[in-house]
Structure 1
Amino acid sequence: MQNPVNPLFFEVFQGNGKRASQSLADSLPKFGEYPAIFGFSGSRLALNKSVSLLFSNAQLGILPSHSIFAIRSFSSSTSSNLNGHSFIVSYLINSCGLTLKSAQSVSKNRNIRFQTRERPDSVLRLLREHGFTNSQISKIVKSRPEVLLAQLEKTLLPKLEFLRSIGVSRPGLSIIVSRNPDLLACSLKHCLIPSYEILKSVLVSDEKVVRTLNHMGNRSFYSLQKRFSNNSSLLRGLGISQSFISYLVTQSPSVMCQEVGKFAEGVKKVMKLGFDPSKLRIVEAVRVFHLMSHKTWEHKMQVYRRWGFSEDEIWLIFRKCPTCMAMSEKKIMATMDFLVCKMSWQPAAVARVPVILCLSLEKRVMPRCSVVRVLLSKGLIKADIHLSSVLQPSEKLFLERSVIKYQEHVPQLLDIYQRKMGLTELGFAFDDKFKISGLKNV
């Protein structure tokens, strides 16, 4: 039986070739929208001209018969591809929660060609049965869309069961996997299990391995297998203990996944600054160097310079507390503003005890300084109080020394410390005019 001919072709032979060619061109998708369909690039104008020329030749009787069938076949396959493409985009939006833009981007992945809902529906059902939320599923599909076509019994379920077997809780399973969809995409035998064994060899306990998996970024497993051994060997060669390496791996596993040459360069910089391999600070410094680009480092230096710190003082801060260089500008500025402008400690005093910059301003620094403010105003303590003695002691020790000891004189002191009462209710306030004279800057 002969296939029906597109009605537009009849118009060609009835003398309406120009209009028909334009209509057919308009019925086709624009170039750039579906480049894989056409197999070549060009403008819509070029298509119009090509179709017009084709129909002009037909009017002159010089169009080969096979060309008409080629066009008809081309139009048919285009329609089929467009429908398939549209189905995938629609599925990603309606079933997986992706935005139109994300769905269009993901649909270009050649590994997720499907024309029915059966396989992807079964994958989504399995994930939901294991506690994955819609937002977590969207994140996984966006990062690793090929998971939608994975085989349940052979591929997905064994990986989920393996993670549960090493101690990942049911709620933790969805969190870990959504943070690192590679867990579902990589091979259980050749990637996931070897990575687990590498981590277990350093961390010893499954509990620490699970904690580390929580911190691992996507795409980390492949580099972990390639680089971990060399990077850990370098640290051990410098006399850094296994417990310190374990701490580094747990806190920032991506550090150990760095390219070997780059990792060695960062470690070399740290050693040149005089860090002691027998102290935990050395791996904290390695971690900070890994997390920060040269541009970001220079910016942080400038932030500290705004408070009058010299170059030597900034390096002193880093050597004493490497984490201080990794804090946000907002956190540094807020804490320094409070300590220097509200409490009138000198920047040099902060440089001597830089760890206080890492303390919570709202939960620790301000409540303790509020107590000090009241005690000084009441004349219950001397004005030469040390910065370190206020902020460094444990909560229990601070309560004993600075709150409970003076509650008979100031019954509201515990409420002030616990922020149940504000300083204004006692007639005090932190403002730019208030200065505690005589505070010892050591």
Structure 2
Amino acid sequence: MLRLRGRIVAHLLSFSSTSGPAISPLHRLLSASAAAGPISPNPSGFAVEEYLVDTCGLTRPQALKASTKLSHLKSPANPDAVLAFLFGVGLSGADVAAVVAKDPQLLCAKVDKTLAPVVDGLTGLGLSRSDIAHAYFRCRSIVPKLHYYLPLLGSSHNLLRLLKRGGSHLLSSDLDKVVKPNVAFLRECGLGDCDIAKLCIHRPRMLTTNLERVRAMVTCAQGIGVPRGSGMFRQALHAVAFQSEEKIAAKVDYLKNTFRWSAAEVVIALSKAPMLLRMSKDMLQRKSEFLLSEVGLEPMYIAHRPIIICLSLEGRVRPRYYLVKFLKKNGLLDRDLSFYTAVKITDKVFVEKLISPHKEAAPHLAEDYAIACKGEVPTNFRFT
């Protein structure tokens, strides 16, 4: 970054008198810049790729990709001004590299006409410097749009998560013609703003796709047995979002065959755990083999308690099954504990109720359980 410090000294001096408070923190860089010494101009012209690597901190592959969008640049003057501004608002070297890699044409933006007004607007919304590092500085329309998105999403944290996942689409979509009609329709379906925020953080295109497609997804969610207004409707919409009817039908058939469910039982399972549609076939197969073959559960039992399938097999379901079986075999369980209860209770309760009371009778129980949660089966848990 020595080249950067040397190169931006002139810009620090010029912008500190014109850009107001946003640039004043740059004064702290002046002494370091002077110590770095003057940078001689490159007589062969402006090498964009080298500038991106040496001055902006991009990796060589990042710079190669970004340079294609900056081939028209003939001088480092404007990029230097942009970098000076970004450092001035408190961004770190890593932040600057990330911002430039994400949007190389930012280096062509005008500080006074674009960047300064955008940053002022973002800070006015209460975003911190670290939040601003993830914003789209070059888009002047970002500020009025964020005035709409921020209350909808409930927090700057949620807003930034959404921007990271689908920022370019969100900021380029028409609020009045696209986003607001989609939000209004989702509200009609019984989703509150909190539900909409959770849904769209994972599926940001729900806000930016056309309304007819959103209507089709709602119809599909209802088709798997989850009505509008129900507590599981958001998860059902998440599960079917942007999946074709053929793909969903194929997954439904796979669930029926894998867990030996009837048509009615698969509807029951999906109404309680729609996210089964998002699980991989390999994962479903392994969980089916364990639950049906090793544990010996009935298909109907699983269909009415599909949360069992959604829990981690290696990190929760299998180790707890082994531990409960160990307790029963050794006469340490003084009550009939169902498999479902054993796997659904929290870790804290599980330890308090099923491990801590047996420290004397089974001193290695906690250790064996911890090992089992890592995917291994301790000798004490082997039943052959």
Q: Shared fold by TM > 0.5?
A: yes
Q: Does 1:321 align with 2:280?
A: no
CA contact (8 A) 2:258 2:285 kept: no
Write the distance in 2 (CA, Å) between the matches of 1:207 and 1:261.
30
Distance 1:427 1:104, change over 3 A: closer
* Superposed counterparts of 1:187-202, under 5 Å: 187=140, 191-202=141-152
Q: Does 1:237 align with 2:197?
A: no
The secondary structure found in structure 1 opposite 2:173 is helix
Distance 1:133 1:326, change over 3 A: farther
CA contact (8 A) 2:189 2:228 kept: yes
Distance 1:247 1:143, change over 3 A: closer
Corresponding residue of 1:150: 109
Distance 1:421 1:231, change over 3 A: closer
Distance 1:271 1:201, change over 3 A: same
CA contact (8 A) 2:163 2:170 kept: no
Deviations 1:85-141 (A, max 9, x none): x833444455453546x65664454x762111222233345445644555x655544
* Structure 1 consecutive aligned stretches of length 4 or more whose deviation exceeds 6 Å: 420-423
Q: Which of 371-380 and 243-252 deviates more?
A: 243-252
* Superposed counterparts of 1:310-389, under 5 Å: 310-381=262-333, 385-389=337-341
Distance 1:300 1:98, change over 3 A: farther
Distance 1:303 1:132, change over 3 A: farther
Write the distance in 1 (CA, Å) between the matches of 2:167 and 2:286.
30
Q: How many residue pairs get matched?
A: 336
CA contact (8 A) 1:224 1:256 kept: no
Write the distance in 1 (CA, Å) between the matches of 2:55 and 2:250.
44
Write the distance in 2 (CA, Å) between the matches of 1:220 and 1:421.
41
Write the distance in 2 (CA, Å) between the matches of 1:379 and 1:425.
19
Counterpart residue type for residue 76 of structure 2: R
Shift of 1:266: 0.9
CA contact (8 A) 2:100 2:106 kept: yes
* Superposed counterparts of 1:70-219, under 5 Å: 87-92=47-52, 94-96=54-56, 97=58, 99=60, 106-109=66-69, 113-127=72-86, 130-132=90-92, 134=94, 140-174=99-133, 176-177=134-135, 183-187=136-140, 191-206=141-156, 208-210=158-160, 212-219=162-169
Write the distance in 2 (CA, Å) between the matches of 1:268 and 1:425.
48
Write the distance in 2 (CA, Å) between the matches of 1:98 and 1:213.
23
Counterpart residue type for residue 390 of structure 1: A
CA contact (8 A) 2:371 2:378 kept: no
Write the distance in 1 (CA, Å) between the matches of 2:354 and 2:270.
30
Write the distance in 2 (CA, Å) between the matches of 1:298 and 1:386.
33
Corresponding residue of 1:427: 380
Write the distance in 2 (CA, Å) between the matches of 1:185 and 1:296.
39
The secondary structure found in structure 2 opposite 1:234 is helix
Deviations 1:63-83 (A, max 9, x none): xxxxxxxxxxxxxxxxxxxx8
CA contact (8 A) 2:178 2:209 kept: yes
The secondary structure found in structure 2 opposite 1:219 is helix
Distance 1:382 1:240, change over 3 A: same
Among 188, 206, 209, the residue aligned to 1:258: 209
CA contact (8 A) 2:221 2:227 kept: no
Corresponding residue of 2:342: 390
Q: Does 1:267 align with 2:267?
A: no
Corresponding residue of 1:79: none
CA contact (8 A) 1:340 1:347 kept: yes
Among 230, 237, 246, the residue aligned to 1:279: 230
Deviations 1:139-193 (A, max 9, x none): 544553211111234322443454344344444443x34xxxxx22311xxx212
* Superposed counterparts of 1:409-424, under 5 Å: 409-419=361-371
Counterpart residue type for residue 368 of structure 2: I
Write the distance in 2 (CA, Å) between the matches of 1:324 and 1:420.
25
Identity of aligned residues (%): 24
Deviations 1:11-38 (A, max 9, x none): xxxxxxxxxxxxxxxxxxxxxxxxxxxx
Deviations 1:299-321 (A, max 9, x none): 53465334434444433322211
Gaps of 5+ in 2: 1-43
Gaps of 5+ in 1: 1-82, 178-182, 435-442
Alignment TM-score, normalising by the size of structure 1: 0.63
Distance 1:278 1:299, change over 3 A: closer
CA contact (8 A) 1:141 1:147 kept: yes
Write the distance in 2 (CA, Å) between the matches of 1:420 and 1:288.
31
Write the distance in 2 (CA, Å) between the matches of 1:220 and 1:128.
26
Distance 1:421 1:234, change over 3 A: closer
Shift of 1:286: 1.4
Q: Which of 248-257 and 224-233 deviates more?
A: 248-257
Corresponding residue of 1:228: 179
CA contact (8 A) 1:370 1:416 kept: no
Alignment TM-score, normalising by the size of structure 2: 0.71
Distance 1:345 1:127, change over 3 A: farther
Counterpart residue type for residue 273 of structure 2: C
